[in-house]
């Protein structure tokens, strides 16, 4: 019998702090060449959303995350992200376990956003804010509070921002401008409109842009990307969709302009 771990099982087993440790270890292992991760495959179902297949191999394991992104689902009482993670034994191909992908995605997104902020932000950074109070935005806010940081939360739906703030121990921002002024900023929006226009980021500020996770999406203006230091999780993944692809197509960024977070963590690329 193959065990299935539902969303509650995943959340009960992995705290935000443990997720951050695991994500840090994963970035380091990937940067050292211990894991392979072919580019994700998109199966568009536009305008409603899309399906994604995301494989990886390493540590004696093979994994596949089959996941969806349907931004309009919450209005119908349905989750934006659903899917499964399949875990197999890389030595014989046997399926070992199945996990809820929505919970895994939220933990990973929150952990990666905060790991990047703590690694690349200023050591003396004080304030933190999350723009977007969906499932993944809540995960990022929860990770900030688990790390002992005060976090502001803003969303176009103020009621949702207040509810998330109450659940994670954060504070609802009084305005989008207040949230945007934070030293450490995480954006987890649907990616259908620019959050950071040219000139938005001030010297020393950090932004983890997590919402533009598919073709045609963007949270930051190309002109703003061109004037700041840019890091990504994986160039081969990030340069083919979301914010980076627009900058590459506009010829304002090349591979040499962008460092990978894992390389910073192992010391082969310079951080802040």
Catalytic residues: 65
Q: Which residues pair with 77 in a beta bridge?
A: none
Distance set, CA 106 to CA 73, 228, 252 (Å):
16, 27, 31
Cβ distance 107 to 19 under 8 Å? Answer: yes
Under 8 Å CB-to-CB from 36, ≥6 apart: which residues?
56, 57, 58
* Rounded Cα–Cα distance for residues 39 and 238 (Å): 9
Rg (CA), the chain: 18
* Residues shown for the chain: 272
């Amino acid at each position: 019998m193959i065990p299935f771990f539902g969303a509650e099982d995943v959340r009960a087993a992995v705290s935000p702090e443990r997720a951050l440790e695991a994500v840090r270890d994963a970035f380091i292992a990937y940067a050292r060449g211990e894991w392979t991760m072919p580019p994700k495959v998109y199966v568009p179902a536009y305008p409603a959303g899309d399906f994604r297949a995301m494989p990886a191999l390493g540590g004696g394991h093979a994994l596949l995350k089959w996941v969806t992104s349907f931004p309009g689902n919450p209005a119908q009482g349905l989750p934006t992200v659903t899917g499964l993670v399949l875990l197999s034994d890389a030595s014989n191909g046997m399926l070992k376990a199945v996990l809820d992908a929505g919970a895994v995605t939220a933990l990973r997104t929150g952990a990666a956003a905060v790991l990047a902020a703590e690694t690349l932000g200023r050591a003396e950074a004080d304030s933190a804010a999350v723009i977007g109070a969906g499932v993944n935005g809540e995960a990022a806010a929860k990770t900030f509070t688990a790390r002992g940081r005060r976090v502001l939360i803003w969303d176009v739906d103020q009621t949702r921002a207040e509810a998330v703030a109450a659940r994670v121990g954060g504070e609802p921002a009084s305005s989008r401008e207040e949230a945007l002024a934070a030293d450490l900023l995480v954006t987890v929006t649907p990616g259908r409109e620019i959050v950071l226009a040219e000139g938005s980021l001030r010297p020393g500020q950090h932004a983890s842009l997590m919402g533009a996770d598919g073709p045609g999406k963007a949270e930051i203006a190309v002109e703003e990307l061109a004037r700041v230091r840019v890091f990504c999780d994986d160039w081969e993944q990030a340069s083919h969709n979301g914010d980076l692809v627009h900058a590459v197509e506009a010829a304002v960024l090349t591979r040499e302009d962008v460092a990978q977070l894992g390389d910073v963590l192992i010391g082969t690329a310079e951080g802040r």
